[in-house]
Chains A and B, each alone.
Chain A
């Protein structure tokens, strides 16, 4: 699936543009090389290299003691990862697709998220759960869920998602080094997106949002697969004389109140964009927090551009569900621009 050789084993700045898939592969390779406590396991991650080839070449390079296929059972993968972490290892496990992670939900919510708290800090679980998530790839049912809100609603978990190849490398390495359990959501639609950038851990910390495009009139808040869409919308908005700022949240939990609130206070307007259904969705939390923190600075209600409140649609209808540049522009237009030139 990937054009480049998947494993180079070096964090050296990339000379050529890399895809997010390659960046993730390098992050895993470099983490495995840097720390012999790190293990990578899951379904088809060994010999095959993962259905998205994110673990391509790792078993051959690091051996089947450290990179291995498991039986097909997600709760077992999560549960055994917890036991391994209790015994000093750093498991990085793969859930093959978003909706296939649900059998592991009890292990995630009852144990992975809580064991540190249950044991007064005595058991920390440095486990990373990689989950390809979201749609936009023409996937059939159960392959395109945006399941982030299930995890962000669970105290004790960190939930992060990269919006670019360079950040995929940085965030995954940061996640593997993090003492807390991390749900690492990989936007499938970005696996093949390319970026010319150095792959390095330097840059924003694991819990920091970043401003991807500065602007003055409105803050577009996005994450994962919607970052690129929001940036595209911002460019289109410029043609209509709206100078949009784009924030890539990176960390959904914890939420970087400081960076986002500062932006919204400055612009006075905000739109939250995500693929997941709107009702009870992550954007509701963002809108509520910003309303609480920025109310007196707001020129308009905070609006959301989200997926419809429906189960993820079949491939030939998904374009109606997913936030688009046009929908974002239409939403920006509804932000009470009476003073707009």
Chain B
């Protein structure tokens, strides 16, 4: 009873609190910035891989935006500026792990190995998800934000129940942290100690709404302690830091359970090609972030370390142009969209009523001479 009269003891935070400032391995000037607790500089071949995939991913991203202007894609949400998060998240996963992306994470999907045209099927409008999620362990891109977070928790929990060495990485943005599903998923993950990593790409805006209107928390990573989840606040434009944070969290998830990572980054482009960012943010705001460009940063580091020269950089530029040309060519014609397929996947077997509707549609098309 005396305990009730005394001061309430502070609970042991058990290392759950993130740092106050984002952790870096490589600073914006390309200098190695020490070795902050919890992060380890990846090996040179990993760093070269991150750089290569960022260059390819950036070129893919600009090509996809261009294809919207040519009417080849209905819409494209660019991840330019978030290249480090996109690439490092994908490369940090092991083959058996699952990636749960959103609509802004096409570069991560392609980096994971999904065919670029299959990855763009959704935005081209041929179908919804164009790739086989089981082939590369990539869930369909999630459009209703945060609704993919409990999926990742469930998949990870199932992996544990099945005694599989498998973890899930779910991508979400700053805006999605306001959704109820994020709360529920973090809580379920913590209670179940599910092997799942939440990577919040805090790019400053949810379409037009800035972070200050989204939360009063000191940082998004600070929310982890409320769930009993260890959290990391990292520089999202430092590919080395993102890779290290995700890789370590994934590898330890089976033993330690979930981790919340907030990666501070910036969406250089508007929300999509259909959006006008000039309506809600200063036109020069992006300039400061361009100076923190994730590709330039890693390239400066690699060149200073003697790991990347002019010749290799030129070869990489050629490879990126070839990728862009291939995407351009393969998307230059309309895909065959089969009206009969509309009825094929609603249920495991089409119902009698759906078969009647299919037959009616096909007859209608036959009458119209199509």
A interface residues, Cβ below 8 angstroms from B: 39, 65, 70-71, 73, 75-76, 78-89, 91, 103, 106-107, 110-111, 114-124, 155-156, 158, 178-180, 207, 254-255, 257-258
Does the CB pair B158–A89 fall under 8 Å? Answer: yes
Instruction: Give 8 A-B contacts (CB < 8 Å), ordered by A residue.
Output: A87-B154, A88-B162, A117-B345, A119-B133, A120-B344, A123-B140, A158-B347, A254-B347
Q: B184 and A79: CB pair below 8 A? A: yes
Given contacts A76-B188, A119-B140, A257-B353, whether A83 and B153 have CB atoms under 8 Å apart is yes
Bound Cα distance from A110 to B180, whole angstroms: 15
Stretch of B144-152, B197-205, B285-293 that contacts chain A: B144-152
Within 8 A of A (CB), among B46-93: none
Which chain B positions have C-beta within 8 A of A255? Answer: 353
In Å, the complex CA distance between A196 and B365 comes to 54
Q: How far is the CB of B339 from chain A (nearest CB, A)?
A: 14
In the bound complex, residues from chain B placing their C-beta under 8 Å from that of A179 are 348
Tell me the count of chain B residues lying within 8 A, CB to CB, of chain A: 40
Which residues of chain B in 130-156 are interfacial with respect to chain A, using CB atoms and an 8 Å cutoff?
132-134, 139-140, 144, 147, 149-156
Shortest Cβ gap from B188 to chain A (Å): 5
| Minimum Cβ distance to chain B for residue A247 (Å) | 17
B151 touches A120 (CB 8 A): no
Q: Which residues of A contact B144 (CB under 8 A)?
A: 106, 110
Residues of B within 8 A of A120 (CB): 127, 129, 341, 344-345
> In the bound complex, how far is the Cα of B159 from the Cα of A81, in angstroms?
13
Chain B interfacial positions (CB closer than 8 Å to A): 127-129, 132-134, 139-140, 144, 147, 149-159, 161-162, 168, 180-181, 184-185, 187-188, 191, 341, 344-348, 351-353
- Give Cα distance in the complex from A80 to B186, angstroms: 11
Q: A119-B129, A121-B344 are in contact. Are A107 and B147 (CB under 8 A)?
A: yes
B187, A76: Cβ atoms closer than 8 Å: yes
A80 and B150: CB pair below 8 A? yes
- A79/B352 contact (C-beta < 8 A), A120-B129, A122-B132 known: no
Given A123-B133, A158-B347, A254-B353, do A84 and B180 touch, yes or no (CB 8 Å)?
Answer: no
Residues of A within 8 A of B149 (CB): 79
Residues in A with CB closer than 8 Å to B341 are 120
Contacts of A117 in B (CB 8 A): 128, 345-346
A-B pairs with lowest CB-CB distance, top 3: A83-B154, A79-B150, A80-B154
Residues of B with C-beta under 8 A to A106: 144, 147, 181
Q: In this complex, what residue of B is CB-closest to A115?
A: B140
**Are B184 and A121 interface neighbours, CB within 8 A?**
no
